Amino acid sequence: MAFNFNHLNRRRFLKALKNGLYFIGIAVFSKLTGRFINRAAAGSGTVQLNISQPNQPFRVYDRFFMIRDKDRLRFLSRTCPHLGCTVQWNDRAGHMACPCHGSRFTKQGRYLSGPAKADLHELSYELVDENNIKIFLEDG
Amino acid sequence: MIDPFKRTWWMPGWGEIALSSLIWALVSGMLLVPGFNAHHDPFQSVSRLISVDAFGYFLHSFHSYSGDIFLIAAFVHTIEYLIKRTHRSYLFKQWFYLILLMIVSILAVFSGFLSIGSKESASALHIFDGILQTVPVIGGQLSLFFIQLTRNINPFSVIYLHHAATFTILTVILTYVHIKRLKAERYALLYTGFLLALLALILPASLGHPADAVVSVVKGPWYFIGLQEMLSWMPVFVAGIAFPLIIIGLLAWLPQLKSKDRPVLYAIAVLLIFYLMESVIGWFLRGEGWQIFGR
């Protein structure tokens, strides 16, 4: 016995089937493409730093600030937690400031004002030898 | 009453100016390819290009302004035809391609700015990445597709490829779909070429600062200053994704509305005026540290 197409004639059924297959095809393609693009998720890079130089309480490097607090070393990422611009040290004002959207941070990297709403990220490091350390940078 | 869109004997139509600017951008862009090194140090390659040869300086400015004039002319052309209500006669598919053309055109010019590798473009790249990351579900993939902000790949080389290939090809194709030709009127081509050459000669385009420069304020390209200002006080998703999507959505809706499109046109106008106000604040009032009246 033929299938009852009273409320859904054959042409509409085939059209619906065709559209359904299109959606499935697009979904599968998107999934595969997304997985392909995700291949680039790399781990953090590192920077090696020589710390045998004369003690400076505060120093600005390309990717981070170095803060020497008695014998404790801290490295603060210069990447603004808002949208990733490079935070600058404002010597005259005595604070760090993002030049893109105006977020401000204390010399210790604590959030002061602006859209960042978070402190500067503190970077971890490990001793390579007594004069050199390896700093782990964040992604990007 | 003066009609700002009326064609005169000396001024081509805005659409023709846009098309001519696109053609000049393609030609000048191709000439710049040998001198530009996106893989190692793009900023240094552009600096060398403009300093070693006066024609290089001219060509860089010419190319830069061709993108700007293309955007301005396309914008005025769009406004002209929105006022004339030509969208009422468009089918949705045709209109959709036009919306897409608008988006890829902006991305084509913006990706050119991002490719330079200056302080401003590096910051803009991070901001663009941050905005893309807020897109639900696919944000990460979008960011990886367009920018690849990781250690393994130079992001400037990726965005440069999108500039020279992806967005440019799409812009050309969608322009052809829109007007069924790529040949500009001869007078418009000469007029626009002369205008661009004059601009390049008397007002050389700024390169920006080197990526490692210490600057107190970073300002993005003029067409995104408003967005930069909005990002300083609005949530990133609202300023970077929702706001442009609302404008695009309203534009896409227009052909469906036929004669009832006035409220939507007013809404678009209000949003554009708001964006203009934000641009004025960002351009003229933001100074050091992106503070109002900062020195």
pLDDT tens for A40-57 read 444 457 888 887 766 778
CB contact under 8 A, A139 and B129: no
In what order do the strands lie in the sheet containing A72-77?
A58-60, A64-69, A72-77, A122-123
**Burial classification of residue B246, based on how many CB atoms lie within 10 Å of its CB (0-12 exposed, 13-18 middle, 19 or more buried):** middle
- The one-digit pLDDT tens for each residue of chain B (295 residues) are 566 677 777 788 999 999 999 999 999 999 998 888 888 789 988 888 888 778 888 999 999 999 999 999 999 999 999 999 888 888 889 999 999 999 999 999 999 999 999 999 999 999 999 999 999 988 888 888 888 766 556 788 889 999 999 999 999 999 999 999 888 889 999 999 999 999 999 998 888 998 888 888 999 999 999 999 999 999 999 999 999 999 999 999 999 888 888 999 999 999 999 999 999 999 999 988 898 887 6
A68 in contact with chain B, both atoms CB, cutoff 8 A:
no
Q: Total domain count for chain B? A: 1
Is B21 among the domain residues? no
Compute the C-alpha angle B239/B242/B244, nearest 5°: 80
Please determine, for the modelled complex, whether the ipTM score is greater than 0.85.
Answer: no
CA R_g for chain A: 27
Contact between A117 and A67 (Cβ < 8 Å): no
Residue B133 lies in a domain: no
pLDDT of residue A42: 46
B16 in a domain, yes or no? no
A98 touching chain B per CB within 8 A = yes
Sign of CA dihedral A118, A120, A121, A124: negative
CB distance B120 to B219 below 8 Å: yes
A42, amino acid identity? A
Ramachandran angles phi, psi of B209, nearest 5°: -100, 155
- Report, as ranges of residue numbers, the positions in chain A whose pLDDT lies below 50: 1, 40-43, 139-140
DSSP per residue over B8-51, as a string?
Answer: -SSS--HHHHHHHHHHHHHHHHHHHGGG--SSS-HHHHHHHHHH
Q: Do A40 and B153 touch (CB under 8 A)?
A: yes
Residue type, A79: T
Whole-number pLDDT of residue B143: 86
Q: Which of A62, A86, A87, A92 to mutate to test the interface with B (most CBs of B within 10 A)?
A: A86
Q: Is B151 on the interface with A (CB under 8 A)?
A: yes
Q: Could you say which of A45, A84, A104 has the minimum Cβ distance to residue B126?
A: A84
Q: Are residues A88 and B216, on separate chains, in Cβ contact within 8 Å?
A: yes
Terminal Cα distance for chain B, rounded: 43
Q: B267 is in which domain, residue-wise?
A: 221-295
Pick from B130, B144, B151: which is nearest to A84 by CB? B130
